[in-house]
Amino acid sequence: MFSAVDVIRVKRDGGRLSDEAIDWVVDAYTRGEVADEQMSALAMAVLLRGMTPAETARWTAAMVASGETLELGELGRPTVDKHSTGGVGDKITLPLTPLVAACGAAVPQLSGRGLGHTGGTLDKLESIPGWRASLSAGEIRDRLREVGAVICAATEGLAPADRKLYALRDVTGTVESVPLIASSIMSKKIAEGVESLVLDVKCGSGAFMKTPEQARELATALVDIGAAHGLRLSALITDMSVPLGRAVGNALEVAESVEVLRGGGPPDVVELTVALARAMLRHAGVSDVDPADALADGRAHEVWRRMITAQGGDPDAELPRARHVETVPASATGTLTRLDAYAVGLAAWRLGAGRARKEDAVDHGAGVLCLAKPGDRVVEGQPLLELHTDRPETLGRVREELAAAYDISGADAKSTPLILDEVTADR
């Protein structure tokens, strides 16, 4: 028999929580027996004192056990998923899911809505007329059997302990704890029932983790939890100091994803899509197909069309467009050496692409198009950014903030690789 106060005291004093204490406290909190104020104190103790990899793996298992797991059953293909820690212009799930399915794996991509300056995958897809995010567990299995790819909302019953704890961390200053972030992310992925997983841990101004060291720490925690649960997985650490691709905002990002699926699109989006697909296929044991070919020859686009249609969407429908489109001209002639991801994400959010509260609606047509990227030569007065909005009253402030979001210089741009590292389980 445990008491919440005793469990809090152990962690407060820097001790190690026993497996039984972890199982009890997570279960009792989910059932309402441990109060919010007690769990807040424990979360703060964890944030300040940390958890060992073994404690973190056990905490994750307890969160998985708090709800149902999605039984994917016999699909006749290996299952694999991708999770990104989120960034500005990160639409990679859209081309990647049908691409990996086109290469022979089954990809159940349970996604979320956006909050703050990074967008959510479901918000992006909901800009496609008719497309429906909510599917039952049975529908998810059917779509995987028929199409091989599904992107939808997580079902309510997956890891309810995480849903409750994440809301509490959000209002108690305890989000920024690596063991709590890692267990939160992995509990949902493990409950989803996939055999393998690739994590895209972003670092830079537009990401949760600002430095490569922080990103590596999170990547290592995520991979360790997955390995302890028998998943085949690795984590790519990727740059998020610059927006990914040119489009930031829901419908704008869908349009850019379709360009990629048609064999075009910005080189950075193509590079990351193919790199993640290769890692996913490697873990899934599919070695006879190169995803670059499946992207270039239209096979991935064909799966995209079937995936969208199967969820009620019309892949040929016109996407929503904002009523006001204005450009931001370059302030000088030279090389664009910096375009800050966070500032562009914030601008898209102010223009209506994101939400401040969970219940807010997003404007699907709103966002920013980056007409130049670092390394490009620009001439004073040439359009640098294109602002799309139905809220023209936001434009003044957005222009002011974006003036500080880029640098143009006589020197060459420092080139940063997009993919910085890969953290594997057997390091």
Of residues 81, 90, 123, 162, which has the active-site annotation?
162
The C-alpha angle with vertex 201 and arms to 199 and 207, in degrees rounded to 5, equals 145
CA atoms within 13 A on the CB side of 145: 10
When the beta carbons of 102 and 159 are compared against ligand URA, the nearer one is 159
Euclidean distance between CA atoms 182 and 341, whole angstroms: 23
When the beta carbons of 180 and 284 are compared against ligand URA, the nearer one is 180
When asked if residue 250 is in the footprint of ligand URA (CB under 6 A), the reply is no
CB of 279 vs ligand URA, minimal distance in Å:
20
Please identify which residue in 26, 51, 181, 197 interacts with ligand URA, judged by CB under 6 A: 181
Please identify which residue in 110, 185, 190, 269 interacts with ligand URA, judged by CB under 6 A: 185
Q: Quick check: is 188 catalytic?
A: yes
Which of the ranges 32-40, 113-121, 180-188, 376-384 carries the binding residues for ligand URA, by CB under 6 A?
Answer: 180-188
Q: Quick check: is 331 catalytic?
A: no
Euclidean distance between CA atoms 156 and 6, whole angstroms: 31
When the beta carbons of 7 and 43 are compared against ligand URA, the nearer one is 43
When asked if residue 116 is in the footprint of ligand URA (CB under 6 A), the reply is no
Report the DSSP pairing between strands 419-424 and 383-389: unpaired
Euclidean distance between CA atoms 207 and 215, whole angstroms: 9
When asked if residue 273 is in the footprint of ligand URA (CB under 6 A), the reply is no
CB of 167 vs ligand URA, minimal distance in Å:
11
When the beta carbons of 180 and 251 are compared against ligand URA, the nearer one is 180
The stretches of 337-394 forming alpha helices (DSSP H) are 341-348
Please identify which residue in 38, 60, 84, 184 interacts with ligand URA, judged by CB under 6 A: 184
Q: Which residues contact 11 (CB under 8 A, 6 or more apart)?
A: 17, 42, 45, 46, 49
Q: Quick check: is 164 catalytic?
A: no
Please identify which residue in 12, 166, 289, 306 interacts with ligand URA, judged by CB under 6 A: 166
Euclidean distance between CA atoms 6 and 226, whole angstroms: 29
Which of the ranges 179-187, 225-233, 327-335, 355-363 carries the binding residues for ligand URA, by CB under 6 A?
Answer: 179-187
The C-alpha angle with vertex 244 and arms to 243 and 248, in degrees rounded to 5, equals 70
CB of 189 vs ligand URA, minimal distance in Å:
9
Which of the ranges 17-25, 141-149, 176-184, 384-392 carries the binding residues for ligand URA, by CB under 6 A?
Answer: 176-184
The stretches of 192-249 forming alpha helices (DSSP H) are 212-228
- For 345-361, b/e burial (b = at least 16 CB within 10 A) is bbbbbbbbbbbeeeeee
Q: Quick check: is 414 catalytic?
A: no
When the beta carbons of 146 and 176 are compared against ligand URA, the nearer one is 176
When the beta carbons of 45 and 260 are compared against ligand URA, the nearer one is 45
Q: Which residues contact 394 (CB under 8 A, 6 or more apart)?
A: 350, 351, 352
Q: Give the 3-state secondary structure of residue 16.
A: coil
CB of 294 vs ligand URA, minimal distance in Å:
29
Q: Quick check: is 83 catalytic?
A: yes
Q: Give the 3-state secondary structure of residue 331.
A: coil
When the beta carbons of 137 and 175 are compared against ligand URA, the nearer one is 175
DSSP 353: I
Interface contacts to ligand URA, rule CB under 6 A? 166, 175, 180-181, 184-185
Active-site amino acid positions: 83, 162, 169, 184, 188
